[in-house]
Structure 1
Amino acid sequence: MMLPRSIPILSALLLLTAPAAAQISLTPPATTPSPAPEKPKAAKPPAPAKKKEAAPAPKPSPSPSAPPTATVIPAPPTDSSGVDLVYGAYQRGQYKTAFDLATARAQGGDPKAMTMLGQLYSGALGIKRDYAKAAEWYKRASDAGDRQAMLELAMLRIAGRGGPIDKGEAVKLLASASKLGEPKAAYNLALLYLDGQTLPQDVKRSAELLRQAADAGLPEAQYALATFYKEGTGVEKDIDKAVRLLQAATLADNVDAEVEYAIALFNGTGTPRNPPAAVALLRKAARQNSPIAQNRLARILITGMGAPVDKVEGFKWHLVAKTAGKGDPDLDAQLTELNPDDRAKAEAAAKKWLGTK
């Protein structure tokens, strides 16, 4: 039995809204590392006076025509172990403390603290949600060169939060953040080039941006680029590259990739055939509420091709997938032929999973 492919390319990709807490302002996310904020260089101390000199030379008075001295942003306050106190409070859920500490730092000109304030205002974390203030802090941080603030402000502009919808500004912000190495900005910009509404459709440019984000380890981009290689969209068709990208995204727990990689393993497409590994991945994705995984797993368990027959479990997943719009007429027909006891067990198991028992 060959399992069919699962997800059409466009429905898999058009996801323009960033998760509310997907980006943490003061340290990089675990799966998409960003460079840590640069610590300002401390001013060099004056050279020690040579022993032969009676006294150190007096400091020269600044010339009236000399350029103004650059403002030095103080280093983030840390505890004795060197942990950033603002980020530490954020990670512990102490949002009010994070807000107070970030406010003091933002007033001192720290762009990462400004981005944190934007995150707190946007996510209603420790303070009342205020998209206008979030946009204000993101704007100040992005003007100071913070790539994450650029991404966050772009998402607000696309959604029309904290101000009117401004896709033109959003595109500029995403482009700037992408150039600075922000993978989520490259990913979202790729989607805009693919969609062809905000920007002229350019699948090759979309593929380039997806590759940038995928190389940085963003699982959504790895999955999306895999579909490009499978279909030959913006790149030459290459099943082997597609499967390698699916495997990478699967290791990062991307559910869509888990389903596609499981199907590749089951069918032996671009990788050695491995039905047990495929079934294990389908089980994992089914438990993560992927209707496609639930449907494919149901087929396997009901037919026994790739795993021992378990019709009660198989029809349970069929009924669960059906409630999410993934009906299967063939399995419906087989369900009517199931003995009453097993059918009752499958229906009870499905209800229990759905929480409707």
Structure 2
Amino acid sequence: MILRADLNGGQITEFKQEATRRYIVHLLKSAADNDHTMAQFHLAECHLNGSKVDRSHTKALNLYRKLASRGISQAQVALGQRYEAGEGVDRDFDTAIEWYTKAADQGSEDGRHHIMFLRGWASFIGHSVEQSDIGALSYWQEVSTKSTNPVLKSIATHMVGWMHYLGRGTQQDELKGVKIIRENESHGFKLGEDQCLGSNWNSVSSDSHAAHKFFELCQLGSDKIWLCKHLMAVCLVNGFGTAQDQKRAANAFQQLASEGHAASQFWLGGCYYNHWGVSQDYRQAFEWYNKSAEQDNSYGQWMVGLCYSGGAGVLKDDNKAAEWFRRSAEQGNRCGQNALGRCYKDGKGVAEDIETAAFWYCKAADQGHLYAVKALKELV
């Protein structure tokens, strides 16, 4: 390879890395042509992702199918994934499960967990089986606790959190659900408490595989299950696993909010508050936050308090702000606890009381609320 004299060290390194990648693909092709099993498997991945070869679902599928028919469990799982996602073939959960089962029969835990994961979604949305929250939760819990697949594990864990939060398939435990969703947040799956349940002020766009898979599954069940439609709209607001479309999201929240779903009422309030897909309208935001709050949604209660505190869409009233913050805080909401702590610190709506302020700040800080942690340090 001839390098121009004016190239700097970084460009030279980049050229070397590119040459290395191309050489590796060349070796893969040579080994695959000589019927090397794992070379064919990795070459299929290259075709699937368009990595230094033409992106081709057809070529990838042909290689996966050839290897799967020879009993290679990794290829059986990969082929099942293509049917599950509808990549290069018509989406077919039954055929996906057939290939996952073949892999599981050979001892593949990944294959077995793919089956559990898919059966969880099928049970939840009633796809080819009777709808069952209990069944869905059971399948997802197994994937959440036992799978090492980061995509399956993160999505299943997130849904386990929602099931506890809403009391679907299990006794309702909002704090447990919130904790699960909060602790499940990761670089590969960015929908944590603040992004999916709480403040929702900062977008969490993501192009990760987990994000795309989550959006597709939520969209699949959006015509049957309100939570799927709600989560699909959350993804659309953020551009999480899909192109951002806040107008479409606001329309979905509007429908669900009108049906009385407190979580969607809270998010519709957020759309009006933040100018997401609708004209900014603090009065409308307050009305929807209030509807959510009246159904004991602790995030709605916190936002009603903030609206009273700042006079957003309603007359400013520190006393009412403190009342709503208290209702939220007493439900264990860390945002409400932090806000109530600030009320006691500043003497707004309540008598100034540093000890009580510290009490509520501690409650919020114990749940990882960063502003509460900072406020506590300032009190010392």
Task: Please give the TM-score of this superposition, normalised by the length of structure 1.
Answer: 0.49
Higher relative contact order (CA 8 A, sep 6+): 1
Question: Comparing both structures, which one devotes a greater share of its residues to helix?
Answer: 2
